[in-house]
Structure 1
């Protein structure tokens, strides 16, 4: 009957969802809980480079305030 496909469908759905969720959680863990920054246009690349320069760490997700500007 039609309900015999449900276990297979559930397994396939889980196998497709788990990697996406796990990847986002691992990325969040590696970036100290901050979201991934995506640069789609040149202005975003400029802002990421500015953040890296101002933070002095070489990591674009570590931002500091005015106390770090020399």
Structure 2
């Protein structure tokens, strides 16, 4: 019958979802937060480095108030 495919379907869905869900846990253990920043483009990498230089934390995005006055 049609319901005989449900266990196989469930195994495949879980096997495909485990790497995606474990990425958050691994990032929490390694980086300290549960999200990532995509750095596929050069501009994104520059913004990552700018935020890390200004605030010390690349995941804490701030505006012009983070730039010190000279």
The TM-score with structure 1 as length reference comes to 0.62
Consecutive unaligned residues in structure 1, runs of 5 or more? none
Equivalent pairs, count: 66
Give deviations 1:30-66, integer Å, cap 9, x for gaps.
Answer: 11125211124333221222234453xxx84588xx6
Q: Give yes or no for contact 1:31–1:61 (8 Å, CA) kept in 2.
A: no
Q: Larger relative contact order (C-alpha < 8 A, sep ≥ 6)?
A: 1
RMSD: 2.9
Instruction: List structure 1 runs of 4+ shifted beyond 4 angstroms.
Output: 59-63
The TM-score with structure 2 as length reference comes to 0.62
